[in-house]
Amino acid sequence: MRVKDEFANDARAWCGLNQPNKAEEEVDIVLFGIPFDQGVSYRAGASLGPSVLRQNTFTSTPCTERLEYMDELSVFDAGDFKEENREVLFQEIQSYVTDLVKKGIFFTAIGGDHSVTIPIEAGINDAISEPFGIIHIDAHMDLCDDMGGDKLSHGSVQRRALELSNIEGTQNLYFIGIRSIEPDEYAFKKENLIQVKTAYDCYHEGMEAIARDVVEKMSKYNKVYITYDIDSLDPAYAAGTGTPQFGGITSRDALELLRILFEELNIIAFDIVEVAPPLDPSLTSMFAARKLLTECWGHQAKKIGKLK
């Protein structure tokens, strides 16, 4: 079920953009949290991501890094999906996302470990009758068929996506920032053409060139979803995450990548996952996620004419 705490019901949340008394159909962006981290294979802590992020949006302003204001943008915080039974939890998320997408409502989801993206992508699939694209920004491809026997783990996200009716094959997926691969994924990559740019590629080719290639490949889809694992960033910029990997994307490159993607593609929604506050007392990952979210909302505000 969905639960709204005092912060989700406060109009000062989300840079003062939260409209707790409105309905999903009446706002520009719907946001919801998924405080779930039972799909991890290593360190937990991401279940606290949504609440810590929400509580730290009261002190930020509705302003982009280019000093543009989006105070006319309206957000509805739908609260957090909470359920001990994973099957029930994932079905509730999937159904909610299906409803949002059918109504053409732009949404943002906050995890939780990366497994929460599985029901989100399934919900998008259920809502449409055409192929869609997925941009996966992460240190890992999450293409394992299972991890420790768990087919719904945070390392199996896009393997499950490949089973969706509107994902025709690996050409629907584009991976950015990758710098680690499991044996299962390595074997899969040898047998399949994967669109992937490693963190090494991002450094040597330049992020603008990477972004342009993503746009070229993904522009054939009318609808594109972005899933952003905070561990795509180098641990210097986001230490609080379950499986950090040295040598990642810089904060500057991350912002530039998202700017180009939002300007050139029809992004229908995005998530930010794997922010684990207990693993980082200085909350670098949380602040990184807050900035990424704010900038993405700024890009969306510009698209709908609500950016000053």
Give the confidence band of 20 by pLDDT, cuts at 50, 70, 90: very high
Calculated CA dihedral for residues 121, 133, 248, 34, nearest 10 degrees: -20
2-303: in CATH 3.40.800.10: yes
Nearest Cα to Cα of residue 76 among 131, 118, 150, 19:
19
Nearest Cα to Cα of residue 230 among 49, 56, 66, 89:
49
Q: Are 136 and 142 in contact (CB under 8 A)?
A: yes
How far, CA to CA in Å, does 163 sit from each of 78, 118, 125, 136?
29, 11, 10, 16
pLDDT at 130 exceeding the cut of 90 = yes
Portion of the chain with pLDDT greater than 90, in percent: 93
pLDDT in tens, 180-238: 999 999 999 999 999 999 999 999 999 999 999 999 999 999 999 999 999 999 999 99
pLDDT score at 147: 87
pLDDT score at 41: 65
Contacts (Cβ under 8 Å, ≥6 apart) of 95: 123
pLDDT score at 98: 98
- As a whole number, mean pLDDT of residues 66-82 equals 97
pLDDT in tens, 239-297: 999 889 999 999 999 999 999 999 999 999 999 999 999 999 899 999 999 999 999 99
How far, CA to CA in Å, does 142 sit from each of 30, 80, 154, 193?
26, 24, 7, 15
pLDDT score at 39: 61
Question: Could you give the CA distance from residue 177 to residue 196 in angstroms, rounded to a whole number?
Answer: 8
Portion of the chain with pLDDT greater than 70, in percent: 99
pLDDT score at 225: 98
